[in-house]
Structure 1
Amino acid sequence: MRQLDVHNAFLNGHLAETVYMKQPPGYEDPTHPDHVCHLQRSLYGLKQAPRAWFKRLHDFLISAGFLSSKTDVSLFHYSAGTSRVYLLVYVDDIIMMGNDSVLISQLLQRLSTTFKIRDLGAPSFFLGIETLEVQSGLLLSQQRYMKDILNRAGMLDCKPLATPAAVTQLVTPSDEPFDNPTQYRRLVGALQYLTITRPDLSFSVNRLCQFMHSPTSDHGGLLKRVLRYVKGTISYGLRLSASASTTIHGFSDSDWAGCPVDRKSTSGYAVFLGDNLISWLSRKQRTVARSSIEAEYKALADVSAEVTWVVSLLRELGLHSGEPSTLWCDNLGATYLCANPVFHARTKHVEIDFHFVRDKVASGDLVVNFVSTKDQLADIFTKPLPGPRFAALRDKLNIVAHHS
């Protein structure tokens, strides 16, 4: 794996549109002070600059033999015999990885002939995420980012807690507004980015996000609890390890009518590639479910869409095992509904787009199985849990502490 950085990336883009610019201060033509510049290349500050830069990079990579992924436009892949190289772009930050170090060096040399590129070596700090080597693989950590959030909140020395949400405390609207709503929005927005490596925070952060427009003092208390949990788990991150299996399996769960305000349900899912957690979600459903079966069925539709996307990406990269993906649900009624439309009378009101799960099951792309609630890993994404249960599920999601 190599981390690359492009110097002055936006200056590399060629403009497709006609753009004029005032003469820059200090470089005016004294004989023609009213003339303007006709831009040939993009500049920082132009709305077209990001698109022009990406098009320039895209065209170069295609000419160098890379293929652009149709599933994820920021991903490029290169094949030569048994050698594979993958290149992932985020603006001017690039991760390059593959199984042939000679080929990577050759491609990097070609890239350097066109763009001014700095090779930062093995990824250590990418987009605020640290890559730490542990005995069984890699640990993705945002420890510096967590310290920054706690510092912004003035809670660097707060007392830590074992869970981010209390089991007994319901979120109900109160009349007393939070004294600093801007600070609330800043901190909750920062916590959203933290869920990239901390799936265990997904449910609590999702709940806080629902009150951004007018937070109350109660919501401020919930935010402080999450920050106290972050303080106690500041060394935790997401572990990725070598896995013998490449099969995809997902856990889907729903908390029926869990919100006391609008009685909507919360969906949650966790998708694994072999032993590694690669995708997760905690989100309130758009409509009110009339039964627990309907709420679970909607959650199954969410995870089915995600698994379909993951499978299409792996197929494109030639990494899919070809085996059907397995979904685990702890509601028997919902698992029956996926395979057999016998509940038609009870599901007339369910939106049509949820029923695509049946087509996936019928075609053999998905297998939906029942799992007991005790073994349901997605339980952590749908409701507050007691400490021991929360810690057990957190461990099974590969969220572990790094001991330096």
Structure 2
Amino acid sequence: MNVENKTVWKKGTFEVTRLEDVDQQKHRILPLRWVLTYKFDKHNRLVKFKARICVRGDLQPMSGMETYASTLAGTSFRTLMAVTARFNLETIQLDAVNAFTNAVLDELVYVWFPPGFNRSGYCIILRKALYGLRRSPLLWQKSLKSTLMLLGLTPLDEDDCIFISKYLAMMIFVDDMVIVFRDKYRDQARKIVDGLKAKYEMKEMGEINIFLGVRIIRNRKKKRLWLCMDNYITKICEEFKVDKKRRGPTTPMGSDNLIPHQGEATPEEIHWYQRRTGSINYAGIMARPDVCYPSSRLSEFHMNPSDLHSKSADTCLSYLWNTRYFAIGFDCEGKGTLFCASDASFADDTVTRKSTQGYVMMLFGGPIAWKSSKQRRVVTSSTEAELVALTQATKEYLATIRLVKELQLELDDDFIMQCDNQQTLRLLTMENPQQNSRLRHININNLWLRQELQIGVIKYHWIKTNEIVADGTTKTLPPQKQSLYIAQLRMTDVQSYIETADPTV
């Protein structure tokens, strides 16, 4: 706490003022609080205790000023990691120390002294942004963006948390940064690092190792890279007391007969259910596409979970523990192909009769984007469900194509969208679609997809149901099909590599 307190004062964040000089009718004095965290290394060993001073921003009056600050998209992170594997790029990871306090605050905010450092008759004027304030993330982002642009980097239109130059790319998540570059451009990368260090207090952490809770494992000789969440999964399984001795399930959900709770859950039951499903969801978003469907399904019951819902969440946690070393991976083998697979499960919700839709995008041998969600409206046929799903997947696919093009990647093949419903594809390719009167009520989806097909950016291909990689995003799979789904996702068990550092995984 003493170290944090001295650091914040040293950066000019605080200015002491007499309490009698503050008009407390106009300005509320906000309390500060200590947030205590633990830092772990790549082997999940505790290496540091950390204390951070934060403002109770939830008590800050609404000012009407802009507060939104963008964050790095998961798709962008995985795409850049896929590119790193493909071209065997170098990386430098950086961490900005007390990042928010580098930004000058543009509004008048009063706070009390941090607990344990009180001074009677005085309070503090904030001169720099501090963790917890509504505008702090945006002010830090503006400061960092301005610095990077002065250093010759340009933000992407598709994701302004990725910056590029003719020599390198850089991704940013708040105060965590990774520079990606070819070895011959190491001097240019060093100039960026030195420029940042001249402006901010930065901690250089070497090659990328753990980023956003994801362990990055590399085999430089074979140009392979894996993203594994074993440390994160171990942490949440310890928190929720998962039985580690019991043999875990081979599928993330035992059955899909979940229905809304007819009773009423207690606030404590709701709280713990939301914590468990939220933890599962983060894994499903970042590097575990094999649990994206159960995560989405369990999230439907956040507001009133039953015992069955809680048991299903525990089953998913147990599955994650049993498969904690499963990792998605990218390599340099084969063609540089970006393709997307879309699927739908017609009227599978037995209560609302809404359909489930999902997609998976693959680049350089591994998944870079995936999603499972419930369609917003009830449809009347499997063809209609597939059309709605294909529309959503195509929109996401086009956004990813724009990202890939901004990164100046030259891929080998056309952009292919896969679908296992032949009638849906016939509707997109038939010369006179108005002949099918049964689907006139979804004509917008149909015509928009036909338009994208005619423009020529995307080509739609039929693929067998048992071969489509998106099948596991729309339904619970039995053990044999779950194993096939994991193989289609190109997921690998990397435990032996982590424990022995054997590069022949």
TM-score, length-normalised on structure 1?
Answer: 0.91
Alignment of structure 1 residues 165-244 onto 2, 5 Å:
165-166=253-254, 169-175=256-262, 180-195=269-284, 196-244=286-334
Return the letter of the residue paired with 1:188: T
Q: Paired residue for 2:7? A: none
Alignment of structure 1 residues 330-341 onto 2, 5 Å:
330-340=420-430, 341=433
Instruction: Give, in angstroms, the shift of residue 40 of structure 1.
Output: 4.6
Q: Paired residue for 2:232? A: 145
Distance 1:53 1:243 in 2: 40
Q: Deviations over 1:7-66 (max 9, x none)?
A: 111111133x332435858797x9xx78974x5532333222111111011011111110
1:87 paired to 2:170: yes
Instruction: Give, in angstroms, the shift of residue 231 of structure 1.
Output: 2.3
Instruction: Give, in angstroms, the shift of residue 253 of structure 1.
Output: 0.7
Distance 1:116 1:232 in 2: 40
Distance 1:326 1:118 in 2: 42
Alignment of structure 1 residues 3-402 onto 2, 5 Å:
3-15=93-105, 17-21=106-110, 24=113, 37=125, 40-79=127-166, 84-99=167-182, 100-134=185-219, 137-157=224-244, 158-166=246-254, 169-175=256-262, 180-195=269-284, 196-321=286-411, 324-340=414-430, 341-342=433-434, 344-350=436-442, 352=444, 355-402=447-494
Distance 2:308 2:424 in 1: 35
Q: Deviations over 1:272-291 (max 9, x none)?
A: 12322111111111111111
**Would the aligned equivalents of 1:171 and 1:260 in 2 still touch at CA under 8 Å?**
no
Return the letter of the residue paired with 2:485: L
The residue matched to 1:349 in structure 2 has which SS? helix
Cα–Cα, structure 1 residues 43 and 151, in superposed 2: closer, same or farther, change >3 Å? closer
Return the letter of the residue paired with 1:197: A
The residue matched to 1:70 in structure 2 has which SS? coil
TM-score, length-normalised on structure 2?
Answer: 0.73
Distance 1:117 1:307 in 2: 36
Q: Deviations over 1:301-347 (max 9, x none)?
A: 12111110011111112114385311110001111222332455222
Cα–Cα, structure 1 residues 94 and 36, in superposed 2: closer, same or farther, change >3 Å? closer
292-301 vs 94-103, which moves further? 94-103
**Which stretches in structure 1 are left out of the alignment for 5+ residues?**
none
The residue matched to 1:86 in structure 2 has which SS? strand
Q: Paired residue for 2:27? A: none
Tell me how many residue pairs correspond in the alignment.
394
Identity %: 26
Distance 1:27 1:204 in 2: 49
CA RMSD of aligned residues (A): 2.3
Q: Deviations over 1:147-172 (max 9, x none)?
A: 122112211424301111235x5222
Cα–Cα, structure 1 residues 239 and 321, in superposed 2: closer, same or farther, change >3 Å? closer
The residue matched to 1:319 in structure 2 has which SS? coil
Instruction: Give, in angstroms, the shift of residue 296 of structure 1.
Output: 0.6
Instruction: Give, in angstroms, the shift of residue 217 of structure 1.
Output: 1.5
**Would the aligned equivalents of 2:261 and 2:305 in 1 still touch at CA under 8 Å?**
no
The residue matched to 2:411 in structure 1 has which SS? coil
**Would the aligned equivalents of 1:255 and 1:382 in 2 still touch at CA under 8 Å?**
yes
**Would the aligned equivalents of 1:270 and 1:277 in 2 still touch at CA under 8 Å?**
yes
Distance 1:23 1:145 in 2: 35
The residue matched to 1:348 in structure 2 has which SS? helix
The residue matched to 1:250 in structure 2 has which SS? strand
Distance 1:377 1:122 in 2: 32
Cα–Cα, structure 1 residues 143 and 345, in superposed 2: closer, same or farther, change >3 Å? same
**Which stretches in structure 2 are left out of the alignment for 5+ residues?**
1-90, 500-505
**Would the aligned equivalents of 2:335 and 2:412 in 1 still touch at CA under 8 Å?**
no
Distance 2:254 2:365 in 1: 29
Cα–Cα, structure 1 residues 313 and 34, in superposed 2: closer, same or farther, change >3 Å? same
Q: Deviations over 1:218-249 (max 9, x none)?
A: 21221122122112212111112224422321
The residue matched to 1:97 in structure 2 has which SS? strand
